[in-house]
Amino acid sequence: MDKFDCVVTELKVWDIRFPTSMGHHGSDAMHGEVDYSAAYVTLKTDSSDGIIGHGLTFTLGKGTDIVVKAIEVIRPRILGRNIKDVFQGFGKFWQEIVRDGQLRWLGPEKGVVHIAASAVFNALWDLWAKKENKPVWKLLADMSPEQIISLVDFSYITDAISKEEALEMLKKNEATKQDREKILLEKGYPAYTTSAAWLGYSDEYLTKLCKEALEEGWTKFKVKVGANLEDDIRRCRIIREKIGPDMEMMVDANQRWDVKDAIEWMKNLTQFKLKWIEEPTSPDDVQGHRVIAEAMEPYGIGVATGECCQNRVMFKQFIRDGKIKYCQIDSCRLGSINENIAVLLMAKKYGVAVCPHAGGVGLCELVQHIIMFDYLCVSGTTEDRVCEYVDHLHEHFVDPVVIKNAAYTAPKDPGFSSEMKTESISDYEYPTGAVWQKLLKEGKFTL
């Protein structure tokens, strides 16, 4: 492990924002006009190989500078650390950063400080995989069950899953891992598209996008709902008519409703044969999700949530007690791969299907590795599982996702697919980048 014997010498962080609000992209029932953004991190070491780790956490524009500040506060804990020690006790290192006695009060393990830590850990994972010359999914898949377990901080979840249980689950999948890897390399990981039906789009645009998506081979479609019931019914009808009765359709309310309202509203949409209702209410309301799930059961509609689920302790409750059917992990909300593995293990034990949240900036690039690892080593299946895809902003990444036949192709390049192009950084750094300077000069945005 000699190539790992080096120390972190530099951690840089950028505020990168894309002016997506200009095209109403990303609009939903709770987040009207947003500028998809990222706090973007690069890590350098004193190794002669010159390898740089790239990581990010996704944001919606304003406040990206708060996350940047948080990463700067975490920075001294990373600088000077020996990479070999970090990776050999990665679960412990994760706990050390997340449990910092003074910073912890600002979460704990949630919100700005947690997503900031996520960006740093994502960069560490990219660094690790690049040093091993493997994509992250393959780096993980090649680990022994013991190694995988050592990545995870089990604190606060041992009442739901013990290390020993987790180890046994992973060991059971060892024998058939190679077979699944072959299938993955051939067929990819199944995806659905959210690109066709954002709230801000007109009916005409919706129809056009839906037609195009069908032509591209998509078979699973998600529709944003929750702002206006009549609009929702009309839009769901348009899409169901376009895609026909057999394709899968999901709806997403982005936390718009109270518990009772969610149930009432959804009764009007059951006619459209929906696979799931996503984020029907507050992401903090485990008990509320349970009540909604019970009300939706007779209609065959599952409850999905997770993109705003703050950490493994909340996921423990959603998975074990909240009756969710679909668990939507996020590569930047949780504390990177380390914490996501904890969730994958609990989902496996309690029979919940992991269907990752993606889109945003780089979320597809990152989360594909995690869900592929889940297929190979944890759940061992893609049945009733599907990963979100949004056709947006991939052009800014050096190793963007590749979709073929409505499936994510397994990445081949080393790393976490998290590296942004140099020119994207210089164009979209906020507010000094060339694109922002132009928009500000033209008066299309103000500081």
Give the residue from 85, 91, 93, 99 showing the smallest Cα distance to 150.
91
Total residues belonging to the chain = 447
Pick one of 9, 23, 46, 62: the residue that binds its own copies (CB under 8 A).
62
Instruction: Decide: is 60 part of the binding site for its own copies (CB under 8 A).
Output: yes
Q: Is 54 a catalytic residue?
A: no
User: For its own copies, what does the binding mask look like between residues 334 and 373, x meaning CB under 8 A?
Assistant: ----------------------------------------
Instruction: Decide: is 284 part of the binding site for its own copies (CB under 8 A).
Output: yes
Radius of gyration of the chain (CA): 21
Shorter beta-carbon distance to its own copies: residue 113 or 141 = 113
Least distance in Å: CB of 113 to its own copies? 7
Shorter beta-carbon distance to its own copies: residue 157 or 293 = 157
Report the C-alpha gap between 248 and 302 in whole angstroms: 13
Report the C-alpha gap between 342 and 160 in whole angstroms: 11
Which 8-state DSSP code applies to residue 392?
Answer: S
User: For its own copies, what does the binding mask look like between residues 371 and 410, x meaning CB under 8 A?
Assistant: ----------------------------------------
Among candidate residues 130, 134, 220, 224, the one labeled active-site is 224
3-state SS, residue 352: coil
Report the C-alpha gap between 64 and 40 in whole angstroms: 10
Sheet-wide strand order for 53-59: 8-17, 37-45, 53-59
Task: Give the DSSP per-residue string, 38-61.
Answer: EEEEEEEES-TT---EEEEEEE-S
202 CB-contact burial (10 Å; exposed 0-12 / middle 13-18 / buried 19+): exposed
Instruction: Decide: is 316 part of the binding site for its own copies (CB under 8 A).
Output: yes
Stretch that binds its own copies, among 100-108, 193-201, 269-277, 296-304 (CB under 8 A): 100-108
Least distance in Å: CB of 352 to its own copies? 15
Q: How many helices (H) and strands (E) does the chain have?
A: 17, 13
Least distance in Å: CB of 130 to its own copies? 29
Shorter beta-carbon distance to its own copies: residue 49 or 72 = 72
Least distance in Å: CB of 119 to its own copies? 13
Q: Is 134 a catalytic residue?
A: no
Instruction: Decide: is 164 part of the binding site for its own copies (CB under 8 A).
Output: no
What tokens were used for 279?
Answer: 């984020």
H-run or E-run covering 148: helix 145-150
Least distance in Å: CB of 66 to its own copies? 5
Pick one of 132, 282, 349, 440: the residue that binds its own copies (CB under 8 A).
282
Site for its own copies in 110-149 (CB under 8 A): 110-115
Stretch that binds its own copies, among 101-109, 227-235, 296-304, 368-376 (CB under 8 A): 101-109
Instruction: Decide: is 328 part of the binding site for its own copies (CB under 8 A).
Output: no
Shorter beta-carbon distance to its own copies: residue 313 or 402 = 313
Neighbours of 431 (CB within 10 A): 14
Site residue total, its own copies (CB under 8 A): 62
Instruction: Decide: is 259 part of the binding site for its own copies (CB under 8 A).
Output: yes
329 CB-contact burial (10 Å; exposed 0-12 / middle 13-18 / buried 19+): buried
Instruction: Decide: is 32 part of the binding site for its own copies (CB under 8 A).
Output: yes
Q: For tokens 């599982």, what's the residue? A: 385
C-alpha distance from residue 359 to each of 9, 227, 304, 352, 416 (Å): 32, 21, 16, 22, 16
Shorter beta-carbon distance to its own copies: residue 153 or 374 = 153
Which 8-state DSSP code applies to residue 410?
Answer: P
Shorter beta-carbon distance to its own copies: residue 12 or 104 = 104
* 393 half-sphere exposure, CB direction, 13 A CA radius: 29
Report the C-alpha gap between 310 and 365 in whole angstroms: 21
Instruction: Decide: is 228 part of the binding site for its own copies (CB under 8 A).
Output: no
3-state SS, residue 378: helix
Instruction: Decide: is 101 part of the binding site for its own copies (CB under 8 A).
Output: yes
Pick one of 95, 270, 317, 409: the residue that binds its own copies (CB under 8 A).
317
Residue 203 makes CB contacts below 8 A (sequence gap 6+) with 234, 235, 238
Name the residues that contact its own copies, by CB under 8 A: 30-35, 58-63, 65-67, 69-70, 73, 99-115, 155-159, 255, 258-260, 281-288, 291, 308, 310-311, 313-314, 316-317, 320-321
Q: Which amino acids are annotated catalytic? A: 224, 357
